[in-house]
Structure 1
């Protein structure tokens, strides 16, 4: 029995369907190619496109459920050759490197493109149209692009030339480089077109034109072609007894059919063929090379790969040039941040250190104004709103749910009164010094008034059907539509946020050490602190006895009844033991955390070379047991003045965390090094692991809090809270900087001996 799995939705979709439409399982392929999907273990045909009969003269329904050899019956393709290719692809997982495979069938040359997704190997046939002349041209254009990337050309020039080269390779009427904004709307920043076409350069397109799920597919499938907008897609049939008629996942397919909404969109633009190539920056979608043609046009697989390679060269150039700029900016503001710290310590005065020297708090961000709200007064630097307006902002910040840093490039949208001073403060970054005392350090960026020209009105038209249900249609008009954008500023960079967090630590250290003047409040806090410590210790300690009983009884049952247990029961008992072990680890961390408040510190000079080598050996033994090869390198390791047990705990947590979060890196590396200043010893622990977004940094040291991208990696969420508390007891500081999927650096500082004493 066969079940059709195709399901093309109506061209009218409701208001949410653009974002939720399952475009990876359309149930159809484009008409210019053919598809068969086989089981990866037995090579049985489970899916076939209806039009496969045109290629092999057998219907899809006749092929379903049969061995792959049945597909080749009556063709010129030796089954042994295809089986050999499939076996090599499975063994080496080399599908992308092997594609395409050239076959001659029915007196025509074909490209066979293979990929494996989950339990299926998907075979897709496309016509082969490249000639030796076109291949030589493609190679020449690739060589030119590689030479250009290696030269000192400007990024804008590289982008323009990439558009030109892609147009030469694929022969489309128009090739545009389309860059995404922070809100995912796009702008055409480069264009190559035929002379008779109207220019699209500089036009903006709303985020809804490329919905979220389409953007996710662009990150996976870097090249996408629609050869003929007007063609009728071919449905895919499946063996119903195997998959209950579930559609085949075409995430990695080169023939995946197109959403009817997008087809209508292209027809409204007068486009009959389309091709898109993704541009990535650090693994995220930066933009697209979008190609349009006024008549149907198919570009075969080798030519698409050539265009893809040219675009990847541009992606590499984007990453190199932007990293170079970011690192230069980060170094500059970090130097200014260090100067501010020295000034605060020298003056022993927060206000003087931040506002009364050549380097002020304004110099750690690309801002035009800054205000220190401290001790019921405002201290202004640069161009800022009036004092009464700043007072309103600080009062409003007190009601916002953040504890460390706040940033926005659209302040009037969040705080409507800011529209009155948007010319100086459409963007704001703030760090909290004390919400209770209404003390903050604020930075401001001015309004950036922009005249944005959209390709048609960005608001898609909505109609209502007979049942009163709203439907969203693609735009029919793409005539230039201008809009003035106000109340926004330049966005804040990750480097600015990172240095602001470090400055907050510097300021709070001085504030905390001067807070001894408020003795009555300190005494009340100390009492509450001791009571909380005692409570945590008691609860954690009392939990250990019943937990030990649970583990003991489970072990007894497994030992006595193990021989007669079925496998499922044994697995469940093992899960009980594993869970009790995780609970014991968590309780142990909580006990350590609670004891820190009562433990006397034994300060002494510490031999950091010996201490860190012992830690490294212990961590490497653990990682080796997990079959992971992590390198832990040391730089200069100056002595630290501190408690040996607690300092050991600090570096054990930081280095083991760094090693743990590099498990997805190809060559995991952790580097530890230290340096000395006149006042302190600073150590950094850097890794090349998963990193995290600095916008989520506020909850880094919260107890039991873990960042979203740490899911699946073992941990209790207590380690960094312990580190933070130990550093505070040593009168030190801890700060960090991270870039997603690139690196993370944690820095800790310990005062010199004379400062501690």
Structure 2
């Protein structure tokens, strides 16, 4: 028997998906999908099949079952149906009679192997579970508060699985967790409100919780069954149990459960927008098995809760975002009506203090400091601005732990433990700061989180962050309430509004003019270099490659011909990139030919071009109101071609991609928005969206040069308009652009 060792120093890197064991209450076989040949078995398989593992490895599963007088035909039929359908999910569990006993057979395919797992059929009451699920649906609709919903769900899951304790465990931003709802037996001490350190559930375990939504540990004290492989199976390809229902438990986690006195546990994942929001964590103080149908019923209840969480959170976010947008629009109107930026932002009924939930605001503008609400001192704010210059913040900066990033802030943490700032001009030392006060918290941990390992008298290490799990209280300082994405979105939009007004005012006497002159001279030199020094040798490379391929290609090997074709393709991509760069460099100097533009005709033409290239996918481009604009037709075409092409590109992974274009005429502007349901992005990561050659991390797998949006930004600036955006990961993106109703050229 292979022993399982506890490696405490590498807990974060422990390969918990390939431990090489399964839990002892079940049996596992892994087979090849084409021949159904057995390549892995659990060493306890003889208890089920009556033959030792060595006699089964290398045989087809049909032969193995026939020899053991088990229902081979039934299993082969199940495998064939699942293979044709490409999935066994809808078929699980399969009720299977072996040796006079009913078993649940669960099948899945992963990394080129089909895994068959047998587990006992429990005392599951389908009718009761259906009634509980129906009650859960009613509660999701009826619960007025999130706290009520979570508490009712905990009690519902406890009823389904019969565990001693069921907790709803929510993760914080740093992945520590807190028990926010609990259903328990009366004799147990409450865990409600306790916090647990992030080290209790390491990163790789959290990733598995997003894949396997239900995880059962039936008996923490049982000896796991080792997995055996066919003799010719590569040693460096252990069986991946990522999706297995029988996957054994990490020795580290087993020790953790023993320290708590827990003999059986079950966890059910709670997701929000595809990410792990929390867990329904279930404990039993004696071994307890929950069969597959009951686990699925509990999983369904958790999915109802996840959907309710998403719906309620989205509703809250939309309400907040709408309020911030209304205040932002009012600030924009005040900026348009006033020549004085300070007056518009700080001395009107609606001020920048109304744009977030911050309790203080400071505006540093034209070498003057203006403050509203509760803020640090003038000297502290000026020093904070100097520090911000040393960071990589180009557009905005946000944190809810300012003293932990900037030590002097500890002196004014009562006013500013949270900071949200927008950069108006680093060179001119102009910023807008929003502050949130310190939120002192008394956090009660289930034991001291600073002591994850103890050494016993015999020198052995034990994972025991809390040997007694007695409450341990810590005062958390230097933090504020977090900044919401809607707040970040609102201030980023305000930055564009302010910069538009500032640009209109006396821009020729500001430092920007000097920098622009230098930039134009450098662009001229750069354009010449690209045009003459790069394009000529690039053309030669392409030409000679084509000649070699045409004249001597028949003598080349297929690999050599492929390499020459890659050279030709690469030169074409580089030529395209050079064209983009040249276009970008000239965009700031080309004369504008402003005239009325028929937006309906322009957008329909772009749509037709995109749909031709997207004919092999499901894509819909809806065009709404299309008020005309006064602008340069060529440049406007480039703006919307870039925006719509990007939207089409980043919705490529969606089964049903939808893009919506909508125009709106206001008194001062024509506003167009391009909305998609693509991959989206985190607003907090989008500070350099319009920088040349900058691309966001989640867009790197898509082809692109990082030039298109920089060109769009430059065109919009030439037309004295604005561009901004709002996005959420995997929820789509909306780009908005404005053109003045009466352009000033």
**TM-score bin, normalised by smaller chain:** over 0.9
Say yes or no: does 1:218 pair with 2:209: yes
Structure 1 residues 469, 497: CA separation in 2 closer, same or farther (over 3 Å shift)? farther
The equivalent residue for 2:667 is 678
Cα distance change of structure 1 residues 567 and 11 upon mapping to structure 2, 3 Å threshold:
same
The corresponding residue for 1:537 is 527
Structure 1 range deviating more: 42-51 or 654-663: 42-51
Distance change in 2, residues 1:78/1:573 (3 Å): farther
The answer to whether 1:312 aligns with 2:303 is yes
Per the alignment, in what secondary structure is the counterpart of residue 548 of structure 2?
A: helix
1:636 pairs with 2:637: no
> Which residue is equivalent to 2:726?
737
> Paired residue for 1:645, among 634, 637, 646?
634
Q: Which residue of 1 aligns with 2:12?
A: 19
Q: 1:79 aligns with which of 56, 72, 79?
A: 72
* 8 Å contact kept, 1:46–1:238: yes
> Structure 1, residues 33-64: CA drift from partner, whole Å, max 9, x if none?
11111112332211111111111112222222
- Shifted more, 391-400 versus 311-320: the winner is 391-400
Is the Cα–Cα contact under 8 Å of residues 554 and 577 in structure 1 kept in the other structure? yes
Aligned CA distance change for structure 1 residues 142 and 640 (closer, same or farther; 3 Å): same
* 1:462–1:473 Cα contact (<8 Å) kept: yes
Contact kept, 8 Å, 2:448 with 2:465, in 1: the verdict is no
Q: Does 1:727 align with 2:716?
A: yes
Aligned match of 1:38: 31
Q: Is the 8 A contact 2:169 2:179 kept in 1?
A: yes
Answer yes or no: is 1:177 the counterpart of 2:152.
Answer: no
Q: Aligned-pair distance for 1:106?
A: 1.4
How far apart are residue 710 of structure 1 and its match?
1.2
**1:325-474 equivalences in 2 (<5 Å):** 325-462=316-453, 474=465
Instruction: Report the 3-state secondary structure (helix = DSSP H, G, I; strand = E; otherwise coil) of the residue aligned with 2:686.
Output: helix
Match of 1:690 in 2: 679
The correspondence for 1:111, drawn from 100, 104, 115, is: 104
2:695 to 706, 713, 726: 706
Alignment equivalent of 1:149, drawn from 140, 150, 167: 140
**What is the match of residue 756 of structure 1?**
744
Residues 180-204 of structure 1 show CA distances to partners (whole Å, capped at 9, x for unaligned) of: 0111100000000001110000000
Moved more, 652-661 or 581-590: 581-590
Residue-by-residue CA offset, 1:395-432 (whole Å, 9 max, x unaligned): 21121121111001011111122222211111110000
- After superposition, the C-alpha distances for 1:680-733 in whole angstroms (9 at most, x for unaligned) are 111111110110011101121111111111132111111111111111111111
Compared CA separation, residues 614 and 34, structure 1 to 2 (3 A): same
Q: Distance in 1 between matches of 2:529 and 2:508?
A: 34
Equivalent residue runs for 1:560-639 within 5 Å: 560-624=551-615, 627-639=616-628
Contact 1:367–1:445 (CA under 8 A) maintained in structure 2: yes
- d(CA) in 2 for partners of 1:588 and 1:93? 46
1:23 CA displacement: 0.8
Distance 2:78 2:537 in 1: 59
The 8 Å contact of residues 13 and 473 in structure 1, kept in 2 or not, is answered as: no
Aligned-pair CA distance for 1:564: 4.3
The 1:172/1:730 distance shift into structure 2, 3 A limit, reads same
C-alpha spacing 1:61/1:699, structure 2 compared with 1 (3 Å): farther
Asked whether the 8 Å contact 1:431–1:504 carries over to 2, the reply is: yes
1:2-23 CA-partner distances (Å, limit 9, x unpaired) = xx9x783x22421xx1111111
1:459-517 per-residue CA deviation (whole Å, 9 max, x = no partner) reads 23446899x99996553221111111111110000011111111001111111222435
SS in 1 for 2:614: helix
Return the alpha-carbon distance in structure 1 between the equivalents of residues 229 and 25 of structure 2: 20
Assess if the C-alpha contact under 8 Å between 1:77 and 1:103 holds in 2: no
1:261 and 1:474 in contact (8 A); partners too? no
Are residue 139 (structure 1) and residue 130 (structure 2) matched? yes
> Who is 1:480 aligned against?
471
2:41 match: 48
Match of 1:668 in 2: 657
TM-score by length of 2: 0.97
* Root-mean-square deviation (Å): 1.9
Moved more, 430-439 or 184-193: 430-439
Cα 1:568/1:119, change in 2 over 3 Å: farther
Aligned counterparts, 1:233-244, within 5 A = 233-244=224-235
Deviation sequence 1:352-384 (CA, Å, 0-9, x none): 110010100111111111111111211111111
Task: Find the partner of 1:254 among 245, 265, 282.
Answer: 245
For residues 538 and 130 of structure 1, the distance between their equivalents in structure 2, rounded to whole angstroms, comes to: 80
Q: TM-score by structure 1 length?
A: 0.95
Gaps of 5+ in 1: none
Separation in structure 2 between the aligned mates of residue 233 and residue 702 of structure 1, nearest angstrom: 55
- Deviation larger for 315-324 or 143-152: 143-152
Instruction: Identify if the C-alpha distance between structure 1 residues 45 and 402 changes in structure 2 by more than 3 Å, giving closer, same or farther.
Output: same
Deviations 1:608-632 (A, max 9, x none): 00000000000111111xx222100
Secondary structure of the 1:734 match is strand
Distance in 2, matches of 1:670 and 1:333, equals: 25
Partner of 1:243, secondary structure, is coil
* 8 Å Cα contact 2:31-2:39 kept in structure 1: yes
Q: Distance in 1 between matches of 2:160 and 2:14?
A: 32
The equivalent of 2:488 in structure 1 is 497
Change in 2 beyond 3 A, CA 1:486/1:526: closer
Are the aligned partners of 2:361 and 2:375 in contact in 1 as well (CA < 8 Å)?
yes
Q: Do structure 1's residue 100 and structure 2's residue 90 form an aligned pair?
A: no
Unaligned runs of 5+ in 2: none
